[in-house]
Structure 1
Amino acid sequence: MAADSAIILVGDNPAALEAAIAPMRKRLSRRGWSRKVQAPFLEAYAPSAGRLDITCGLDGHGILIGDLYDRDGGRLEGRERGVLGCRPLDSARARDVCSTYWGRYLLVRRFSGEVAILRDPSGGIDCVVWRRNGVTFIATGGGDLIDPWLPDTTSIDWGEVAALVRRPGEHRHRLPLTGLTPVAAGELRSIGDGTHRSEQIWTPAEVYRRRDPAAPPDLRASVVLGVTALAGTRKWIAELSGGLDSAIVAAALTTDQRGRVAAWVNHYVDHREGDERDYALAVARRHGVTLTEVRRVGLRLGARRLEVAADGFRPASNDIDPDYNDDIAERIETLDAWGSLTGQGGDAVFFQMPTLLIGLDEIWERRFGARVEVLHRLSRWLRRPLWPTALARDWREEIRHRSSWTHPWLEDLRGVPPAKAMQISALSFCQTFQGPSVRSRRGPCINPLLSQPVMEAGLARSSVDLTWGGRDRAAARAAFADTVPSVVLDRRSKGELGAYYGRAVAEHLPFLRDYLLGGALAEAGLIDPSLDARLTREHLLWRGGHSELLSLAQTEAWVRRWRDRLAARAA
């Protein structure tokens, strides 16, 4: 399980709690887990060498898990954490917590026979809840340690698995398991005997609707706050891909924090589109650090490797590149780092998406005051005319694209213009990056650009302002123009690894053919008959599809693993 794994048990009464824990004590101990919190009605367990800070409320009826910061980036410690954990947690209090603090956390509070759980708006720590025999269980990970505690009704939800197969690689909030309830980022969930209430306390759409267009949060200050607070005084493995987003994260760190980075890692391949070392080296030289260059050859892909990442509550979409994840995991362990820092999420929060819908946002937000020059620059950038028919077609396509998504952030987009809605759908997809992977088993994977302050700064700006002048991530480029090398700022292309992955996956076609066409998904009738024709080298190299195949393989591995786990539990 991940380094930030934990499970909290809250009993309706002390006897129910003891009955749940007593038969599991030896199992927990053998797996290297220990008790972190003990109170009459609740207990919390986590790996003895885990990375989560777990604090009991001062009155013994609440728990705070993870890292919490005030709006100046100060980390809550000791008594402050205990006080927060002993206050009532209703809707008003949850809103106050989300507006006063931020971080990677779960806040749990027992009251009047119910348990309230607040998950932080960034979704930095996963959260799944269920009830069994008078006890509420709150888990941050889905490893097989927890199997004896799962509800008797837990089974694979084949309808949700079918949805994963139809849209491989896309984040789905709903779990492909029955009897378990996921808690969304920014959600307050109340659960008890016969009680299941949910309220979305924080949503990107609400941030946009409540913004002050004349005075949005300072983008650079928000990024610096998010990056420096989350990095703290710990040792990290940092991604330096050569792209803008990881360069911004590097620039936002303090000099002392950059000195504590154990390795600045760049993965490259032997063709021009996939070799971004020149850009990464420019960033490294700017900050006086050494770049660790990792040459990629092929792809590790097999049943055993896929199974390693298949224990979560969902297929491990964040582990889609096994070689990258294995390399970072090994560096975390050998260099004794706390975890990894990435630039993931920057494309969404800074708005990288080239779309005509930005023009619709200009018209939506300014009505008759829409600026012709904005529409002209957008047309030049995209090299497309802004005809009404083209705008309407792109809007319909975006609505169709997100129509099957299930994330609560997309349930209320009233008053949100089309390109901003596209940004919100991209941010909901970015919850994938907060999910488990092999590298997160060694230490947490931190994505500072998906922290609450950074998301709120990006959401408070119109898509026009974020792409001002007809340039993707224009506001972010301007904010860090003095700290990011010009060769990166002025770059108009992104690294392209499609051809590399196509060739690498093609080397494993015999395995994939057998694994997918003769596996659990095929047995359940969920594999498209046309997949057989697409499992050819020619199709992969000329038409693509490697991402779909890798995602299907992950889903297959997940189904096989959970089928075995549930069968063993029933035996």
Structure 2
Amino acid sequence: MSGPEFVIASIREPELLDQWARGIAERTGWQRITIDGPIAIFVSVSCPFIAESTAPTHAVLGSAFARHGPLERCAELDAKTAQDLHAGSVTMLMKNYWGAFLAICPRGDGLLVTRDPSAAMPCLYMPNSGGILMASSIAAMTRAGIPRPSVAMDNVAHCLFRADLPSPQTALEGIEELAPGTSLHIDANGSKVVPAWSPWDHVMINSAVTFEDHVEQLRRAVQNTAVAWAGTAGSILVGISGGLDSSILATCLRRSTPPALCATLATKDAEGDERHFARKICDHLGMQLVEAHYDLADICLDRPVRPHMPRPTGRIIAQGYNAAVSRIASEHGITAFMTGNGGDNVFGFSQSAGAIADRLLHEGLSSAVWHTSKDVCQLTGCSLRQAWQAALRTLRRPRKYRWRPNRRFLSRDALAHLDATALTHPWLDAPDGALPGKAAHIASLLRIQRHLDGSGQLGDVAVINPLMSQPVLEACLAIPSWMWCRNGQNRSVAREAFRDMMPPSITDRVSKGGPDGFGTQILEHFRETMRERLLDGALARHGIVDRSALEQRLNDAKPNWGADQVRILELLEAEAWIGHWQSH
């Protein structure tokens, strides 16, 4: 069973809209949702939706949950929210509901199409003669009869340069993406994107709200969202590393019905083998654990990790993880895979002095600032002098977060063009009085989006990332940066929220493992093939990569890959993605 799919045609000419609607219906066989306005909406059988039964004026595609009430997917909206949508506003919807959805409602003589902030419900769109065509994926577009787009190589270069900064621009000609938390307003004059949700609206430093208050609010938000998602999921597999974030998720699912199964993957080197920690949390919670290893046999340089995405995303290394999870899911009849992805980002993980700068700006020079200074020193291992020097440098810079591009292995000609482009995003535009540590927190939320966007399906298994749900985002945004590093521990509020549910070896764990050792295996095993792909591939032919710099790096007989490993694996993914789109 595939994930939720939809196609929407918004065309003002009635005859042309009718023509498109008939064609989409014939090609897809999907259900049509009829609402007022120049629009035709089609959804697959796996796409839940909410629409009024009589004289419908609006629709919500995907999964929507009420903020207050039963922890289950809604079949209808409350009267006030429905009335608000009828009037062309999504304010009440964003306030009273959360999930993975796309909302369509009238706005004046046009339409408003809104994507929720979680990045879990994709929406691509393209202009068409007389209107706009939207869909959940390129596959949905082509199934509906929309011609398959070609690769835009200049945009591929932008993707590699932007270093995970989200952009509506895709790497396919004529295709744009509606960003999470934004609306597409369509009327007779065309279309424009307008904000529907901003993280800055939820940054509220209230001295009356204590650390303990935030602990309770965060615990409730995480538990409720995890339980709500579990109610839609069926048979659940939980990805467990034994780290804090995935362990927190496991505690929330320990009583799910049917019982959730846990899975952990290990590399051959010690750094990537966290089975000891995974066993500890599963034994503590009484949950069954399945263990597996990364396997080079699962890696194919010709196959992109996410061929369905409208841009190259991720690294080839993820093939190993996905293949192992798919095997476990198949063996155990799993219908949903739930992960702790995004935990570092949402839980304010930081190794900077931003917390000192924030508290100094908010409270002035006080004993509390000295406590935070000591927390940062304990967390990072720096001296008090080094911490304050870093904090003062932060204070001298503009409050707006400066996004740094990834120029590694890009050619001089490509960079001459790319360096002239501004790396912007509405969430990076800090309002007056913004605190730099919180600006960095919000930038971190942006950094994870590209890795979760489009991750909603692994074959027939739904992929769910509960920690990126809107209530969790908003609860975390309200927490001051200095509380996240309290007592010299990163993600301190999250640790405290679940301290009594996990063993101390997990709650207080500070080490972090990872699959970098498997990445090194890939680079060594495929060295010759990799040389050919990167030195004579599409990126080199189009002058995007610095061929000589790559050749020098790949010729190193005993390389210490370091930070280059991640970049080379990204370039291999880009080559595979380009090859996929140019060959189909």
* 1:198 alignment partner in structure 2: 193
* 1:247 alignment partner in structure 2: 247
Cα distance change, pair 220–37 in 1 and its aligned pair in 2 (3 A): same
**Is the 1:20–1:135 contact (alpha carbons within 8 Å) kept by the matching residues of 2?**
no
**Is the 2:166–2:449 contact (alpha carbons within 8 Å) kept by the matching residues of 1?**
yes
Q: In structure 2, what is the Cα distance between the partners aligned to 1:541 and 1:313?
A: 33
Q: Pick one of 502, 522, 528 that aligns with 1:510.
A: 528
Instruction: Note the C-alpha offset of 1:486.
Output: 1.2
Q: In structure 2, what is the Cα distance between the partners aligned to 1:170 and 1:499?
A: 26
Q: Pick one of 317, 325, 328 that aligns with 2:325.
A: 328
Instruction: Note the C-alpha offset of 1:409.
Output: 1.8
* 1:119 alignment partner in structure 2: 115
* 2:412 alignment partner in structure 1: none
* 1:282 alignment partner in structure 2: 280
In structure 2, what residue type is equivalent to 1:5? E
Q: In structure 2, what is the Cα distance between the partners aligned to 1:171 and 1:537?
A: 34
Q: In structure 1, what is the Cα distance between the partners aligned to 2:16 and 2:578?
A: 32
* 1:351 alignment partner in structure 2: 348
Cα distance change, pair 533–96 in 1 and its aligned pair in 2 (3 A): same
SS in structure 2 of the partner of residue 305 of structure 1: coil
Q: In structure 1, what is the Cα distance between the partners aligned to 2:461 and 2:85?
A: 32
In structure 2, what residue type is equivalent to 1:555? A
Instruction: Note the C-alpha offset of 1:547.
Output: 1.6
Instruction: Note the C-alpha offset of 1:76.
Output: 4.8
Identity of aligned residues (%): 25
Q: In structure 2, what is the Cα distance between the partners aligned to 1:147 and 1:516?
A: 33
In structure 1, what residue type is equivalent to 2:336? G
Instruction: Note the C-alpha offset of 1:427.
Output: 0.6
Q: In structure 1, what is the Cα distance between the partners aligned to 2:208 and 2:82?
A: 36
Cα distance change, pair 543–206 in 1 and its aligned pair in 2 (3 A): same
* 2:67 alignment partner in structure 1: 71
In structure 2, what residue type is equivalent to 1:559? I
Alignment of 1:82-481 (within 5 A): 88=85, 93-143=89-139, 145-146=141-142, 150=146, 156-167=151-162, 171-208=166-203, 210=204, 212-215=206-209, 218-232=217-231, 234-253=234-253, 255-257=255-257, 259-261=258-260, 263-298=261-296, 300-306=298-304, 309-317=306-314, 320-369=317-366, 370-385=368-383, 386-387=385-386, 388-393=388-393, 399-402=401-404, 405-437=423-455, 439-481=457-499
Instruction: Note the C-alpha offset of 1:480.
Output: 0.6
Instruction: Note the C-alpha offset of 1:284.
Output: 0.8
Cα distance change, pair 88–390 in 1 and its aligned pair in 2 (3 A): closer
**Is the 1:241–1:280 contact (alpha carbons within 8 Å) kept by the matching residues of 2?**
yes
**Is the 1:132–1:149 contact (alpha carbons within 8 Å) kept by the matching residues of 2?**
no
Cα distance change, pair 371–394 in 1 and its aligned pair in 2 (3 A): closer
Cα distance change, pair 390–168 in 1 and its aligned pair in 2 (3 A): closer
Greater shift after overlay, 173-182 or 344-353?
173-182
SS in structure 2 of the partner of residue 78 of structure 1: coil
Q: In structure 2, what is the Cα distance between the partners aligned to 1:95 and 1:84?
A: 8
Q: In structure 1, what is the Cα distance between the partners aligned to 2:207 and 2:95?
A: 19
In structure 1, what residue type is equivalent to 2:206? D
Instruction: Note the C-alpha offset of 1:237.
Output: 1.5
Aligned length: 553
SS in structure 2 of the partner of residue 230 of structure 1: helix
Q: In structure 2, what is the Cα distance between the partners aligned to 1:228 and 1:537?
A: 50
TM-score for both structures, normalised by structure 1: 0.87
Q: In structure 2, what is the Cα distance between the partners aligned to 1:297 and 1:544?
A: 22
SS in structure 1 of the partner of residue 98 of structure 2: strand
**Is the 1:318–1:435 contact (alpha carbons within 8 Å) kept by the matching residues of 2?**
no
**Is the 1:333–1:442 contact (alpha carbons within 8 Å) kept by the matching residues of 2?**
no
Q: Pick one of 529, 534, 537 that aligns with 2:553.
A: 534
Unaligned runs of 5+ in 1: 566-571
SS in structure 1 of the partner of residue 99 of structure 2: strand
Q: In structure 1, what is the Cα distance between the partners aligned to 2:562 and 2:254?
A: 44
Cα deviations by residue, 1:299-342 (Å, 9 ceiling, x for unpaired):
63334422x73232222328751111122234444544332100
SS in structure 2 of the partner of residue 109 of structure 1: strand
Q: In structure 1, what is the Cα distance between the partners aligned to 2:333 and 2:445?
A: 31
Instruction: Note the C-alpha offset of 1:458.
Output: 0.9
In structure 2, what residue type is equivalent to 1:142? I
Q: In structure 2, what is the Cα distance between the partners aligned to 1:296 and 1:274?
A: 10
Cα distance change, pair 394–505 in 1 and its aligned pair in 2 (3 A): farther
SS in structure 1 of the partner of residue 340 of structure 2: coil
Cα deviations by residue, 1:253-275 (Å, 9 ceiling, x for unpaired):
25134x432x3110012222111
**Is the 1:326–1:438 contact (alpha carbons within 8 Å) kept by the matching residues of 2?**
no
In structure 1, what residue type is equivalent to 2:490? D
Instruction: Note the C-alpha offset of 1:44.
Output: 3.4
TM-score for both structures, normalised by structure 2: 0.86
Instruction: Note the C-alpha offset of 1:106.
Output: 0.7
In structure 2, what residue type is equivalent to 1:220? R
In structure 2, what residue type is equivalent to 1:183? L
Instruction: Note the C-alpha offset of 1:28.
Output: 2.7
* 1:549 alignment partner in structure 2: 568
* 2:415 alignment partner in structure 1: none
Give the alignment's Cα RMSD to 1 decimal.
3.1
In structure 1, what residue type is equivalent to 2:324? D
Cα deviations by residue, 1:459-495 (Å, 9 ceiling, x for unpaired):
1011111111111011111111110111111212011
Q: In structure 2, what is the Cα distance between the partners aligned to 1:528 and 1:9?
A: 42
Corresponding position: 1:5 with 2:24: no
* 2:416 alignment partner in structure 1: none
Q: In structure 1, what is the Cα distance between the partners aligned to 2:23 and 2:306?
A: 27
Cα distance change, pair 441–416 in 1 and its aligned pair in 2 (3 A): farther
Cα distance change, pair 455–3 in 1 and its aligned pair in 2 (3 A): same
In structure 1, what residue type is equivalent to 2:481? S
Cα distance change, pair 171–214 in 1 and its aligned pair in 2 (3 A): same
Unaligned runs of 5+ in 2: 406-421
Q: In structure 2, what is the Cα distance between the partners aligned to 1:469 and 1:433?
A: 31
Instruction: Note the C-alpha offset of 1:558.
Output: 2.6
Cα distance change, pair 70–249 in 1 and its aligned pair in 2 (3 A): same
Q: In structure 1, what is the Cα distance between the partners aligned to 2:293 and 2:334?
A: 22
In structure 1, what residue type is equivalent to 2:59? I
